[in-house]
Structure 1
């Protein structure tokens, strides 16, 4: 009860960043991500990832909040995560990973019909040392920095439209930030799931843990698969023709269905053991769609569409792909 009153007081005194300001920071990060992040990652993948996450994603958010003198603990939800929820969140993310994997393989199944699919930029680790390095850099930095942006600043800025709407909007903006058509649906799902965890627990640490768990699971699975098969993978970024049988999609769908059932049960348990302050929607769908007309979001979408078209050109084997890549980079 006291927490709800304090929350209402903070909203009345302007303790929540505006959507417009959050959108401007988001656009800045997206532009830096495209032109600076991609450059430093091509020079050195892991050093580039650290620069991207901490220098491009995290730093603008922190500087903005400090400059505007916002309460970082309130805006970013630096609230204690109850110990009883830690293991529950890990289980939720394990189930969620199988569901998101289905969206990924389904997307790649259709993309493979149009041409060659690019190999992910992060290849499987060949030894334990390499795996630990990947977990620290890939899982750790992304879990911290990207969550502070999306489930911190953006989620808090948009929640006056309604708690659930804010979760969905932050999930969509999270997926757009990845600029990847192959994993778009998968990342939207994960983004919304992570947002829901933060909404229910009122703690950014819930999504940091969830994000870290998901990324680490993927890296471990890649590591195990590589060391079991001992097959030499193509160079990251290489376009290869993938033959994804439809039966694989069906099998993944079945696994995702089972995982989804367990996920539902786990989320129900989370709901029963949490009591968040819920903001009910005060906007119509047409009001929410007007977000797309806000100039920072509109420019962000244009950048996203341009990068997706470029990616699709590469998959289709268009001769314009390399010309555009050389012109931009």
Structure 2
């Protein structure tokens, strides 16, 4: 009986590995795809978003981020369903993912706070990107669709769908973290890179364990939609406080957390720190518990990717260089501007000279 069980286990393992041994994108191909999307995103996406923010984001997401990977899979005749992991996510998975994202927010917020603190130490200031949310009627729903739905679908197809698949030859862990690193870079915001990187790694983990890209899509949608809702509520609260003549709104509205802290008394500051530490510890505990449940629920869904023995040459990795150079150029311009080494008009002229 024990021999039969062992044989059955080996057969199941063989079936799982056989199912995973289909044609996958190569490192060279995903490198070319990444660089292509970065270039068209910066050269075309920024222009359409200046024309109209909401329509521009939708055109960028669906036209410039989603179309290239889908076209690539179809042109080179890949099995789209298998490459993208178009498998049912499961109701319990979606329930767990929602709460995983909810309890990950304080953790990611702490990482972003640390990121801001380092930036402020270096440059004496930091900048917070404000999502284009309107407080008018339908503003919230439009924001959720533009920032939550479109990004959740399009960016996940590119990163967790195609790029992570192409990097799986190095193993699951490396493919998840390299993809998360590229995901963080492409957001063009080094001031929140740490939080974005961890979020990308979390979504890559969810996809790998569940063998369904719909899990990362739902996680991405949930994270962005919660952020949109919080921004909307914050803007509404600021409008109310301004109309009511309440002072001290400027620091909150400009996102200057440290300026707000400096106005607090020592007791108030200690109280805020204690409360946030308690929230952080509570969130970490629940996050650990929920991730363990998620892993247990997906034990039979996870498929271990095959490792390739053949070495990857530098030429394959070189395909990422054009995209990384363009991103690096944008980051350098931001660093020089924030450091006061170059004035904004000079940066504008440089960007125009290179077509950005």
Normalised by the size of structure 2, how large is the TM-score?
0.81
For 1:203-282, what aligned pairs fall within 5 Å after superposition? 203-230=212-239, 243=259, 245=261, 252=276, 254-275=278-299, 276-279=302-305
Q: 1:97 aligns with which of 90, 105, 121?
A: 105
Mean Cα displacement is larger for which, 34-43 or 318-327?
318-327
CA distance in structure 1 between the partners assigned to 2:101 and 2:315 by the alignment: 30
For 1:47-196, what aligned pairs fall within 5 Å after superposition? 47-113=55-121, 114-196=123-205
CA distance in structure 2 between the partners assigned to 1:86 and 1:224 by the alignment: 25
Alpha-carbon contact 1:310-1:321 (below 8 Å) kept: no
Mean Cα displacement is larger for which, 108-117 or 151-160?
108-117
> How many pairs does the alignment contain?
321
Q: Deviations over 1:125-145 (max 9, x none)?
A: 314510100001111100000
Q: CA deviation at 1:124?
A: 4.1
Alpha-carbon contact 1:115-1:317 (below 8 Å) kept: no
Mean Cα displacement is larger for which, 40-49 or 198-207?
40-49
C-alpha spacing 1:116/1:240, structure 2 compared with 1 (3 Å): farther
Q: CA deviation at 1:281?
A: 6.4
Q: Deviations over 1:46-80 (max 9, x none)?
A: 11101111111111101100000001000001000
Q: Deviations over 1:13-71 (max 9, x none)?
A: x5111111011000000111111111211221111101111111111101100000001
Partner of 2:246: none
CA distance in structure 2 between the partners assigned to 1:10 and 1:271 by the alignment: 20
Q: 2:330 aligns with which of 307, 313, 321?
A: 307
- Gaps of at least 5 residues in structure 2 are 1-8, 243-248, 263-268
Matched, 1:18 2:29: no
Q: CA deviation at 1:95?
A: 1.1
Normalised by the size of structure 1, how large is the TM-score?
0.87
Partner of 1:323: 346
Q: CA deviation at 1:96?
A: 1.4
CA distance in structure 2 between the partners assigned to 1:21 and 1:15 by the alignment: 13
- Gaps of at least 5 residues in structure 1 are none
Larger radius of gyration: 2
